[in-house]
Structures are given as structure tokens and as C-alpha cells.
């Protein structure tokens, strides 16, 4: 199985969390929630096993991490099985035994990983 990235351009504006990000991904991702005080470092549209997602790196309260974000209603397998897919069939995790947290909010499913505390 192959994970791939459709778009590699990144527009970054540190004064506004998402101002230029929407220019590089399709409108179906316009409503991804961003928690207060979270800074999105980059966000690109991707796919995992032909399932559309967004791959992002973010920073919040001294923690930098990455997320794969899916539209909840488009997931065709359980959250546990999707986590297993991410862990076993992608090269995204820094370490195969890295922690992955899952959060479901506002119709989106976030799989968060590669946590670094600065």
C-alpha cells in the first residue's frame, strides 16, 4: 500500500493560523476545526488507500505533532483499523510504536502522531 501526496505547495503565514492554507487544498476541507492557540505549520491534501485526507503539522503549547484528518462519514473502516493502517502501511510515523491519539469533532476524525515537546 502506498501513501501519496497530491499537493506539495505550502503557503505559510504565521500571523493567521489558516489564511493561506485554503489556497492549496480543496474546499471540502474548509471547515476543519483549529483549536484556539494552535498554529498550523503546514497542511496538504493527501490520500491513504484512495481515501481523501489532509496531512498537517501543528504546534500548540510547546508541542509539535502531525495529523491525518479524514471526513468522518467517508471512513469505511473502524477507527481502530484506520489507526492500524496508519501504523503498518505508511511511512508517516517516526517510530512504528509511536503514540497515536484519535479525536472526532465536527464531522472530522483526527489521527495525531509524532509528538515532540520543545
Residue 15: band (very low, low, confident or very high) from pLDDT cuts 50, 70, 90: very low
Instruction: Please give the Cα distance from 46 to 10 (Å, whole number).
Output: 13
Round to the nearest angstrom and report the end-to-end CA distance of the chain: 33
Instruction: Please give the Cα distance from 76 to 60 (Å, whole number).
Output: 30
Please say whether the beta carbons of 83 and 111 come within 8 A. yes
Q: Which residues contact 49 (CB under 8 A, 6 or more apart)?
A: 1, 85, 89
Burial classification of residue 50, based on how many CB atoms lie within 10 Å of its CB (0-12 exposed, 13-18 middle, 19 or more buried): exposed
pLDDT tens-digit map of 46-87: 999 889 999 999 999 999 999 999 999 999 999 999 999 999
Instruction: Please check the confidence at residue 11 and state whether its pLDDT lies above 70.
Output: no
Tell me what pLDDT residue 24 has: 54
Task: Give, in degrees to the nearest 5, the angle at Cα 104 between 82 and 93.
Answer: 45
CATH number of 3-117: 3.30.200
Tell me what pLDDT residue 26 has: 83
Strand partners of residue 39: 59
pTM of the entire structure?
0.79
Instruction: Please check the confidence at residue 89 and state whether its pLDDT lies above 70.
Output: yes
Neighbours of 54 (CB within 10 A): 21
Amino acid at each position: 500500500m502506498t501513501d501519496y501526496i497530491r499537493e506539495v505547495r505550502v503557503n505559510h503565514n504565521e500571523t493567521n493560523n489558516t489564511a493561506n492554507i485554503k489556497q492549496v487544498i480543496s474546499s471540502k476541507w474548509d471547515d476543519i476545526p483549529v483549536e484556539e492557540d494552535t498554529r498550523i505549520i503546514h497542511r496538504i491534501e493527501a490520500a491513504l488507500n484512495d481515501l481523501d485526507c489532509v496531512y498537517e503539522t501543528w504546534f500548540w503549547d510547546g508541542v509539535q505533532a502531525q495529523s491525518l484528518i479524514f471526513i468522518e462519514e467517508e471512513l469505511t473502516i473502524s477507527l481502530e483499523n484506520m489507526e492500524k493502517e496508519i501504523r503498518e502501511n505508511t511511512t508517516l510515523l517516526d517510530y512504528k510504536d509511536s503514540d497515536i491519539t484519535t479525536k472526532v469533532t465536527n464531522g472530522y476524525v483526527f489521527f495525531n502522531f509524532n509528538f515532540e515537546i520543545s
